[in-house]
Amino acid sequence: MNEHKLHDGSLYWPKTMSFFPTYPSLRERAMTQVAIIGGGMTGAICAATLAEAGIPAVLVEEKRVASASTAANTGLIQFSSDIMMSGLADRIGERDAVAFYAHSRKAVNDLGLLAAAVPQDGGYRVRSSLYCASTDEDAPKLRREYEMLRRHGYAADWGFPAGVGSDFMARYPAAFVTHGDAEINPVRTAHAFIAQAARSGVRVYEHTGVANVRRRGDWFALDCEGGEILARTVVRATGYLPDIEGAAGCEPILRRTFALATKPNSVPAEWNRDHMMWETARPYFYFRTTPDGRIVAGGLDEDSPDPVTGEPELQARTAKLLAELGKLFPGSRFEAEHAWCGSFGESPDDLPFIGEHPETPGLFHALGYGGNGTVYAMLAANMLVARLRGQEHPLAGLLRPREVNRAASGKPAVRKAYGV
């Protein structure tokens, strides 16, 4: 069992569940077409998508479903990545950058369709995003992004939305609003998807860790606590954890990040609740609201792979996040009812690792690192279904598991060498 902790503090989303569905442990030898390792948001989306496509699958989770990074996720669903379309175009060319953004936007919509098809409400609500320039120097960069998005057909409005206070505008020199993003409750959504997949015939096992994945003829054999799974295709949806023997590379650069949820009914009257907010600084400060009027805010990423565990350390970061909110809404007083710290993984080139590893055909990676993990999970599920149907997805070449030159990315290598 993997004992590494991915979060600490008082998580908000699990408190919104009155009942957690449970699933048995594996006690047999199971055969299937697709074995999904990991019962977080990525495994959940893949399981629900495979069920919808009528493809037989088994999902195995070594702890409880939706209890790792998915429980710490703040639930912003945005087609824009941590890297702007314009920045990505500079790096990989405009055609590929535009294709990546187009498929991310499609994934936001597909997630909405998947959410609408399950009986439980996972809180998917369409939202607009206010993207702010953090400094005067960032304002031209933001303008360039706005113009490129418009040129490629994205609905975007330059400036601040009506109602935003003058303190907000004094803090940020420029901003624009994009439309067609969403917010979710990640824990309810992941549970809803897994429950739906289970109803449609996907076999789900909790407390079933996969220790090892080996080739056996045309099959993969997965050694699990309590049994064995034989599958034609294996999906590695294990998030940021060191996971299974026999899985090649694609390790994230791990950081820690902080988040809080205020008390209910604390959204200032001047804020339009249909909007989420983020900025150009890296790391960025961001916030969204919840249906019961909380603000969920986050940021302050630090170059350390482990969550803080001491209460004073967490309180200090929470006070900083509250101070950021206070600067934007000086007329309001905010109190954190929940505050937490979570590990957070980035790929060195800001793109997810999705697809079969060239050295291990059939082992499909669904590792959606970065601030957009949920959108990348939906993208991974779409690419997985395409691959199982023998189709070449347009992003297959760009996102396949690859060697990335970490030193060239300028990002610090803070990955700790955990044992498996």
Ligand X SMILES: Cc1cc2nc3c(=O)[nH]c(=O)nc-3n(C[C@H](O)[C@H](O)[C@H](O)COP(=O)(O)OP(=O)(O)OC[C@H]3O[C@@H](n4cnc5c(N)ncnc54)[C@H](O)[C@@H]3O)c2cc1C
Q: Is 41 in the site for ligand X (CB under 6 A)?
A: yes
Q: Which stretch binds ligand X (CB under 6 A): 27-35, 40-48, 195-203, 393-401?
A: 40-48
Taking CB under 6 A as the criterion, which residues in 211-250 touch ligand X? 237-241, 243-244
Work out how close the CB of 162 gets to ligand X at its nearest, in angstroms, rounded to a whole number: 25
By CB under 6 A, residue 133 contacts ligand X: no
165 versus 220: smaller Cβ distance to ligand X: 220
Q: Does residue 24 have a cis peptide bond before it, meaning omega lies within 30 degrees of 0?
A: no
- One-letter amino acid at 192 equals A
CB of 58 to ligand X, least distance (A): 11
How many other CB atoms sit within 10 Å of the CB of residue 413? 12
Per CB under 6 A, 39 contacts ligand X:
yes
Q: Is 110 in the site for ligand X (CB under 6 A)?
A: no
User: What are the tokens at 311?
Assistant: 């209460």
236 beta partners: 37, 365
Q: Are 149 and 85 in contact (CB under 8 A)?
A: yes
210 counts as binding ligand X under rule CB under 6 A:
yes
Residues 296-335 that bind ligand X (CB under 6 A): 298
> Within its chain, how far is the Cα of 79 from the centroid?
12
**Applying CB under 6 A, which of residues 8, 11, 23, 73 lies at the interface with ligand X?**
73
Q: Nearer to ligand X by C-beta: 79 or 176?
A: 79
Choose which of 11, 26, 50, 74 interacts with ligand X (CB under 6 A). Answer: 74
What is the nearest approach in angstroms of ligand X to the Cβ of residue 176?
20
Size of the site for ligand X (CB under 6 A): 42
Q: Please give the backbone phi and psi of residue 384, each rounded to the nearest 5 degrees, phi first.
A: -65, -45
CA angle 359, 363, 367 (to 5 degrees): 105
The one-letter amino acid code at 235 reads: V
Kindly write down the DSSP assignment for every residue of 362-414, as one continuous string.
EEEEEE--STTHHHHHHHHHHHHHHHHTT---TTHHHHSS----HHHHT----
- Applying CB under 6 A, does 178 fall inside the site for ligand X? no
Q: Is 106 helix (H, G, I), strand (E, B) or coil?
A: helix
Where would I find the H helices in 54-92? 69-72, 85-92
CB of 13 to ligand X, least distance (A): 10
Site string (329-368) toward ligand X, x via CB under 6 A = -------------x-x-----------------------x
Burial call 37-49: b when 16+ CB within 10 Å, e when fewer: bbbbbbbbbbbbb
Out of 42, 104, 185, 347, which residue is the one contacting ligand X (CB under 6 A)? 42
Among 49, 129, 189, 257, binds ligand X (CB under 6 A): 257
Which residues form the interface with ligand X (CB under 6 A)? 2, 6, 37-43, 60-63, 67-70, 72-76, 209-210, 237-241, 243-244, 257, 259, 298, 342, 344, 368, 371-375
